[in-house]
Amino acid sequence: MAPASAREHVRVARRLRELPLVRAAFGRGALSYSQVRALTRLDAVEDEQALVELASTSTAAQLERIVRGLRQVTADEAQRAYDERSLGVLYEDDGTMVLRARLPAEDGAVVVRALEVFHDAIARAAVAGEDDRDAEAPRLAVPAEAPDPNVPAEAPTRGARMADALVTLAERALAAGPGSAPGGRVGPYEVVIHVDADRLAGPTAEAAGGQALRGQATVGDDVPVSADTARRISCDSAIVTLVERAGEPLSVGRRTRAIPPAMRRALRSRDRGCRFPGCGRRDGVDAHHIEHWAAGGETRLDNLVELCRHHHRLMHEGGFQVCRTARGILTFHRPDGRLLAQAPRPPCGDPTRPATDNSARGIRITPESPVPRWYGDRLDLGAAVAALLPAVAGER
């Protein structure tokens, strides 16, 4: 099972503790896992019976649409951008490919900035009548064709140039190869995070009881991100000190790296990938300050640890903690303080146990058990959402 699927199973299992009627229907086979997975995405459920009745008359695909509709009109169901990040690839019948991505604001700013860089380069090359590709790249000789007088000569739209920029970006990345930019933030083009020094050194959202939230820092076109996100990015980035008074800059310091290249090489040689228990990923890793430099932590090897992007995010935005003991051993802790075991081995399961337990409880599950009482009529999404709104608490 892929890690993403495993995390989704764990999420569903934990959520079922709070939904006894859904759990009971799932236990007797009246609801499929896909239906239960959709229902567990709803928080603050007041009328659970209404959800069970809806699920029993809907297919899993219909239930997913209804739940998405409910989440769009219920303020309490705020979507977590990172948990729902995704990139989908779809090939149309005409041979074209459609990309659809959902990214957190700071990651989206990186993508947009990279596309803008190549978009501007392509636009300049178009004006100069030159190709922006590598001078050493082989060029194909294409015979000139007489222009069709019936087809007007139009300049490519911005959307077309952005599509060209995406392809050029991919070509350059493949040409450079993986691992050519340690830390993922080396190069002439950057995404700038604006954050006050006192807020950067302030308490995390976990320590402040959820008070250190959005509005602490901005990325790109003044898109707000949390102070915890700014701390994560500044763990392993270039730092420029800017002194301001009444909003006016007074002095700008030199651009420095939070972690010098020599120390990064030593860190890579020592850790050889993400040190989070059970991970060990080697590509796309960040250097994490155990005690953040903004809070007085020193940039030394004994205060650094390599973490992949996912587990680095858990350290800052997720409330997890990492400590180094006096003997130099790293210990990782959950947000509630519980110690994480070092790469625990999952227990082996018995594939015959579910069937045996169901027989002992008098439960007989057949392929017809989760079949919904649906008559094939078309789903009226608006009516379904309006009918279920009273079953879900929260501001609407």
Q: Give residue 139's pLDDT.
A: 41
List Cβ neighbours of 301 (8 Å cut-off, separation of 6 or more). Answer: 263, 266, 267, 270
pLDDT digit string (tens) for the chain, length 396 residues: 777 888 899 999 999 999 999 999 999 888 999 999 999 988 778 888 988 988 888 888 888 888 877 765 554 444 466 778 888 888 777 768 888 888 876 778 888 888 888 877 766 665 554 444 444 444 434 444 445 544 444 556 778 778 888 887 877 776 666 654 444 444 444 556 676 666 666 655 444 444 433 334 666 555 666 777 777 877 877 777 676 666 666 666 666 666 888 888 999 999 888 889 888 778 778 889 898 877 788 888 989 999 988 888 888 888 899 998 888 889 999 999 999 887 755 566 788 888 888 889 888 888 888 888 887 888 888 888 888 878 776 544
Q: What's the DSSP call for residue 303?
A: G
Q: Give residue 211's pLDDT.
A: 42
In terms of Cβ atoms closer than 10 Å to its own Cβ (0-12, 13-18, 19+), residue 292 is buried
List Cβ neighbours of 319 (8 Å cut-off, separation of 6 or more). Answer: 204, 205, 206, 334, 335
Two tokens at 155?
Answer: 């300049």
Q: Give residue 193's pLDDT.
A: 67
Q: Give residue 12's pLDDT.
A: 94
List Cβ neighbours of 185 (8 Å cut-off, separation of 6 or more). Answer: 236, 237, 238
Residue whose entry in the numeric block shows the structure tokens 């959005």: 214
Question: In degrees rounded to 5, what are phi and psi of residue 257?
Answer: -90, 140
pTM comes to 0.47
Q: Give residue 154's pLDDT.
A: 56
Q: From CA 80, how far away is CA 313, in angstroms rounded?
A: 13
Q: From CA 287, how far away is CA 192, in angstroms rounded?
A: 19
In terms of Cβ atoms closer than 10 Å to its own Cβ (0-12, 13-18, 19+), residue 95 is exposed
Domain ranges in the chain are 3-81+378-391, 83-130+160-177, 193-257, 261-333
Q: From CA 313, how far away is CA 230, in angstroms rounded?
A: 11
